[in-house]
A and B are shown apart, each in its own frame.
Chain A
Amino acid sequence: MGEQKSILIIGGGISGITTAIEAAEAGYDTTIVERNPYLGGRVAQMFKYFPKLCPPYCGLEINFRRIKQNPKVKFYTISEVESISGSEGDFTVNIKVNARYVNEKCTACDKCVEACPAERPNDYNFGMDNTKAIYRPHDMAFPMRYVIDEQACKGSACSECVKVCKYGAIDLDMKPSTVELNVGSIVTATGWNPYDATKMENLGFGKIKNVITNMMMERLSAPNGPTKGKIKRPSDGKDVQSIAFVQCAGSRDENHLPYCSAVCCMASMKQATYIRDKNPESKVYIFYIDLRTPGKYEDFLRKVQSDENIEMIKGKVAKIEEDSDGGAIVTAEDIVGGGKVHQKVDMVVLAAGMESALKNNGLVSTIKTEESSFAISEGQAAGIYVAGVAGRPNDVTTSVQGATGAALKSIQSLVRR
């Protein structure tokens, strides 16, 4: 038997991390390629997990600890797979490692941020605040190292950050590099992006300031978010007293996402508890088609329904309009009660669906997908596997189960040789 090949994992969200560490602890070498400057994916942006309402970073931190002490997990951040060739047991993969402009000497002292004159919208907070051009990806980022946004940076003519960094950690001339890896199997764990809510014109996102998406709601509620966890209206900073959740915003709609995103019913109920916890007077209205809380999640539905200030209305939202005082008016058909509802609220959260990150992605030529761009599970080329939401919309626990299974499959490709 020759030297054992390693496993490539594309995407370092909770699924990719799980595949990597589970395979590594079973004795196999793994490499994660992650596009963001940090690992953790979407759950790193969340305030709490349904149904336990516990902090997602807890599980991430435990996994990071496993990664830190395990030499069998390697990872590249701000990196992307450029090309894949070969076949099961012998793939050649080219990875483009983009320039971070900050090296391993960085101690996260934050001095550069004070000095930097340029700003950029903070994508981690969905543009609800800004960071400097040199920034820490987020408070708990792993790896804990700063990064420069080359679009926002004024370049070497400025060099203010370099001047104040006493550790010599900043290198404005850093160039992207290419790494070639030879791997035995490949796991696609590229996850999802929020569906572009501006596409649903009747819902007013992008035009009405106080209409936000569910992922923005996670950031608005999180203590390390743009408002330090205070749920305030974006338009004027007023404390939110009433809030409407619009379910299936984009999902289950032939004109947008034909499938159900599987988690957004639970996500909205979870977010209803965010505002109810922070503001005991607040009122919540959830407009839904079907309440999808399968399995034991039913207990959570029962708990949320027992709160008198949370009202659930079966009906698809037809339109959202801005009121003169900045509030929003939600119009929906009340299927059970009959008639039309016009509900005025301070803020509206669109339960926007999850769109496969494989959509419009160069990887598609190697990874086979179905109509909605989710990777198919049967019928990939030998040695190529799928984990997490890259395969279909799911919650974390189902993603992690699948990711653990994908670790086994990818090991089989190495053992077969």
Chain B
Amino acid sequence: MSESKLGVYICTDCGIGESLNIEDLQKIAKAQICRTHSFLCSQEGAQIIRDDINNEGVNKIVVAACSQRVNYDVFDYDPLKYVTERVNLREHVVWSHPPNTEETQAMAEDYLSLGITRASKSETPEPKITDLNKTILVVGGGVTGLTAAIEAAKAGSQVVLVEKEAELGGWSKKMYKILPTKAPFAELEKPAIDSKIAEAEGNENIKIYTATTIRKISGEPGMYDVTVEKGGSEETFTIGAIIYAIGWKPYDASKLDNLGYGKFKNVVTNVEMEEIALNGKIARPSDGKPAQSVVFVQCAGQRDEAHVPYCSSVCCNVSLKQAMYVRESNPDAGAYIIYKDMRTPGLYENFYKAAQDDEGIFLAKGEILGIEEEADGSLLVEVNNLLLGKTVRIKADIVVLATGMLTNMIPEDYEVNNLTPEYIGTITKKETTDGVTEELEPVPISLNLSYRQGPEMPHLKYGFPDSHFICFPYETRRTGIYAAGAVRHPMDALQASADAAGAALKAIQCLELTSQGKAVHPRSGDQTFPEFRLESCTQCRRCTVECPFGVLDEDEKGRSIHTVAAAVVPVWAPVLRGSLISRITVLI
């Protein structure tokens, strides 16, 4: 900034003038221009400041009045030209402390000096703007990834989609029929995934790689370098933002041996039941005999801390769906659903009702006491029927275990109920000069990021890559990477599709703001970024280890460096949480 000129403006209204010695405050200000006004936010008050800006060349403005929560539109000066500080004498001082005491006065003087010092020492930011790559990388080609790609392309983006398998569609490709997706939410629908695949394949703005995996991603929003591998050969390209949609995998049912899985041929999982239905009649795996009676065991592993501690959200609906398969295949067959709680929230209550109205579908709250196999391969299921208050035995041709969904963030051989905190990996003991220390070694699985903290997204619990799951569900701790679909929460395809569109918006938005040299939420619009005084660095490495956003890494000498070029530093600016917290404190 060329020449800096400070103007301090003290409002005496709203109790400020009555509770404080304004003259003493003015003395503290020691500014060339220091004015008081009895109603600073009025048109005349605001005009005084504008006049000083225009006539006196004031470019650092300290408004000592009310909270910045209010009158933000009155004291609004172009942040690229002026430094503005709001000193909150009203809410923070006179409205919350006794009037005209030494302490209250001292507090006001402190706040004012702080504000003036901050304004004096701040410079207007120079936004860093460089050419960015605005292509969006979608990882995973299930219903979520396909939807994200199509929706982003419709909004004008170029998309690259990378799918590990040879075929697109994910689990949605393996369904006989799907849950209702529209009102009245009562009837099964034909899978719509094929038309989605065709739409993505036919869109010239979407480039699709199948049977491809990601070897390495380095860089930053607007300029990630991605290396992929297909059939042994590698290719590297640049993209701008990432949608992370690698989906889910079923819980390993062989751990449910108490329910007979792996022991009895006719005990299958809900995923296998889709296969059976796709093959035609609902028939026993052991001998192909058409099923007369099928028992569904809900929460097979879920809601149990020994297996999958959470609820998988979709399996109650899925069992209702598969009970309808049974009835469609053989109108004389019976389907029994044994549940803890039926979870068909929202408009899916209609679907539940449709199943209840079917006289061949029986629903009961109960516990499975045991499953036995008879000589002919039939199963005897002993159920403590809590609705009837007695134990019953049901003879079944097939028992379907409604197993749950795990995020694909969890590598093979890792237990969902026993993951290392923050990054999934293994704790290894290391001999150091301080004795034996424990260190977490995160495992790569899908993104292979070149970040100091680890190659994958951090998780909160159970492997789900969420960082804030109420108000801001897309804020992960890897700005530029947005998770969607079943990878981040068990959900059905309808919700996953909405989620995919949201993630696409966030990817587009991140690139838009970055291209303007602005930070994304929660510092959205901020064009400032911190600089590091490396001459004072003692190489304690607190910052490189702890920065939750992975901004910093160490150079060969162990000093901290940005892993990223200056151009887009604002996007993951360090101390982001810190600045958010201090901001909120100031706001109130």
Judge whether B311 and A294 touch: CB under 8 Å.
yes
Judge whether B42 and A105 touch: CB under 8 Å.
yes
Taking the nearest CB of chain A, how far is it from the CB of B382, in angstroms?
Answer: 18
Judge whether A336 and B365 touch: CB under 8 Å.
yes
Known: A68-B72, A259-B349, A295-B310. A405 touches B512 (CB 8 A): no
Judge whether B473 and A296 touch: CB under 8 Å.
no
Judge whether B501 and A394 touch: CB under 8 Å.
no
- B37-69: CB near A (< 8 Å → 1, else 0) gives 001011000000000000000000000001001
Give every chain A residue within 8 A of B72 (Cβ-Cβ): 68-69
Give every chain B residue within 8 A of A394 (Cβ-Cβ): 346
Give every chain B residue within 8 A of A68 (Cβ-Cβ): 72-73
Judge whether A401 and B499 touch: CB under 8 Å.
yes
Taking the nearest CB of chain A, how far is it from the CB of B41, in angstroms?
Answer: 7
- B546-588: CB near A (< 8 Å → 1, else 0) gives 0000000000000000000000000000000000100110010
Q: Which of A56-64, A209-217, A221-229 has 4 or more CB atoms under 8 Å from chain B?
A: A56-64
* Chain A interface extent, by class: 35 or more
Taking the nearest CB of chain B, how far is it from the CB of A409, in angstroms?
Answer: 6
Judge whether A411 and B525 touch: CB under 8 Å.
no
Task: Answer yes or no: A144 CB below 8 A from chain B CBs.
Answer: yes
- A281-303: CB near B (< 8 Å → 1, else 0) gives 00000000011111111110010
Give every chain A residue within 8 A of B69 (Cβ-Cβ): 61, 64, 142, 144
* Chain B interface extent, by class: 35 or more
Q: Which residue on A lies nearest to B73, using beta carbons?
A: A68
Q: Which of B171-179, B215-223, B463-471 has 4 or more CB atoms under 8 Å from chain A?
A: B463-471
Task: Answer yes or no: B151 CB below 8 A from chain A CBs.
Answer: yes
Interface residue SS majority, chain B: loop
In whole angstroms, how far apart are the Cα atoms of A259 and B500 in the complex? 26
Task: Answer yes or no: A128 CB below 8 A from chain B CBs.
Answer: no
- B166-199: CB near A (< 8 Å → 1, else 0) gives 0000000000000001111000000000000000
Partner of A65, one of B311, B491, B587: B587
Task: Answer yes or no: A377 CB below 8 A from chain B CBs.
Answer: yes
Taking the nearest CB of chain A, how far is it from the CB of B99, in angstroms?
Answer: 15
- A79-117: CB near B (< 8 Å → 1, else 0) gives 000000000000000000000000001011100000000
Task: Answer yes or no: B124 CB below 8 A from chain A CBs.
Answer: no
Q: Which of B308-355 contact A (CB under 8 A)?
A: 309-313, 341-350, 353
Judge whether B349 and A260 touch: CB under 8 Å.
yes
In whole angstroms, how far apart are the Cα atoms of A86 and B520 in the complex? 35
Q: Which residue on B lies nearest to A263, using beta carbons?
A: B345
Give every chain A residue within 8 A of B303 (Cβ-Cβ): 298
In whole angstroms, how far apart are the Cα atoms of A302 and B475 in the complex? 27
Judge whether B489 and A295 touch: CB under 8 Å.
yes
Known: A294-B313, A294-B345. A402 touches B471 (CB 8 A): no
Known: A62-B584, A296-B489. A52 touches B311 (CB 8 A): no
Give every chain B residue within 8 A of A374 (Cβ-Cβ): 183, 347
Partner of B343, one of A54, A167, A294, A393: A294
Judge whether B508 and A292 touch: CB under 8 Å.
no
Task: Answer yes or no: B513 CB below 8 A from chain A CBs.
Answer: yes
- B502-515: CB near A (< 8 Å → 1, else 0) gives 11111011001100
Taking the nearest CB of chain A, how far is it from the CB of B34, in angstroms?
Answer: 22
Give every chain B residue within 8 A of A105 (Cβ-Cβ): 42
Q: Which residue on B lies nearest to A143, using beta carbons?
A: B70
Q: Which of B448-507 contact A (CB under 8 A)?
A: 461-462, 464, 469-474, 489-491, 495, 498-506
Known: A258-B349, A295-B310. A411 touches B505 (CB 8 A): yes
Judge whether A335 and B346 touch: CB under 8 Å.
no
Give every chain B residue within 8 A of A404 (Cβ-Cβ): 473-474, 501-503, 505-506
Judge whether B501 and A66 touch: CB under 8 Å.
no
Q: Which of B331-388 contact A (CB under 8 A)?
A: 341-350, 353, 365, 386-387
Judge whether A295 and B311 touch: CB under 8 Å.
yes
Taking the nearest CB of chain A, how far is it from the CB of B365, in angstroms?
Answer: 7
Give every chain B residue within 8 A of A64 (Cβ-Cβ): 69
Judge whether B310 and A392 touch: CB under 8 Å.
no
Give every chain B residue within 8 A of A66 (Cβ-Cβ): 521, 524-525
- Interface Cβ pair total, 8 Å cutoff: 200
Taking the nearest CB of chain A, how far is it from the CB of B495, in angstroms?
Answer: 7
Taking the nearest CB of chain B, how far is it from the CB of A20, in angstroms?
Answer: 12
Give every chain B residue within 8 A of A392 (Cβ-Cβ): 346-347
Taking the nearest CB of chain A, how far is it from the CB of B576, in angstroms?
Answer: 13
Q: Which of B273-331 contact A (CB under 8 A)?
A: 302-303, 305, 309-313
Give every chain A residue within 8 A of B229 (Cβ-Cβ): none
In whole angstroms, how far apart are the Cα atoms of A258 and B344 in the complex? 12
Judge whether B345 and A22 touch: CB under 8 Å.
no
Give every chain B residue within 8 A of A126 (Cβ-Cβ): none
Task: Answer yes or no: A415 CB below 8 A from chain B CBs.
Answer: yes
In whole angstroms, how far apart are the Cα atoms of A219 and B525 in the complex? 34
Judge whether B508 and A26 touch: CB under 8 Å.
yes
Task: Answer yes or no: B14 CB below 8 A from chain A CBs.
Answer: yes
Taking the nearest CB of chain A, how far is it from the CB of B307, in angstroms?
Answer: 12
Task: Answer yes or no: A150 CB below 8 A from chain B CBs.
Answer: no
Task: Answer yes or no: A379 CB below 8 A from chain B CBs.
Answer: yes
The listed residue with most A CB atoms (<10 A of its CB), out of B70, B151, B387, is B70
In whole angstroms, how far apart are the Cα atoms of A379 and B464 in the complex? 33
Give every chain A residue within 8 A of B472 (Cβ-Cβ): 59, 62, 400
Give every chain A residue within 8 A of B305 (Cβ-Cβ): 302
The listed residue with most B CB atoms (<10 A of its CB), out of A23, A25, A66, A397, is A25
Give every chain A residue within 8 A of B522 (Cβ-Cβ): 62
Partner of B346, one of A14, A63, A70, A262: A262
Taking the nearest CB of chain B, how far is it from the CB of A53, in angstroms?
Answer: 11
Judge whether B155 and A336 touch: CB under 8 Å.
no
Give every chain B residue within 8 A of A397 (Cβ-Cβ): 469-471, 473
Known: A58-B584, A296-B489. A260 touches B346 (CB 8 A): yes
In whole angstroms, how far apart are the Cα atoms of A401 and B66 in the complex? 35
Give every chain B residue within 8 A of A400 (Cβ-Cβ): 470-473
Known: A59-B472, A401-B502, A404-B502. A296 touches B508 (CB 8 A): no
Judge whether B386 and A401 touch: CB under 8 Å.
no
Task: Answer yes or no: A376 CB below 8 A from chain B CBs.
Answer: yes
Which 10 pairs from chain A and chain B are nearest by CB? A59-B471, A405-B501, A370-B183, A404-B502, A408-B505, A290-B341, A26-B509, A262-B345, A294-B313, A405-B502
A-B contact pairs, 11 of them (CB 8 A): A52-B470, A61-B584, A62-B584, A65-B583, A335-B365, A372-B347, A392-B347, A400-B471, A401-B498, A408-B501, A416-B154
Extra contacts besides A314-B386, A397-B469, A415-B156 (10): CB < 8 Å: A22-B505, A144-B69, A258-B349, A261-B346, A290-B341, A291-B341, A295-B310, A299-B310, A377-B182, A405-B504
Instruction: State the A residues within 8 Å of B (CB).
Output: 14, 22-23, 25-27, 49, 52, 54, 58-66, 68-70, 105, 107-109, 142, 144, 167, 252, 258-262, 290-299, 302, 314, 335-336, 338, 370-372, 374, 376-379, 392-394, 396-398, 400-409, 411-412, 415-416
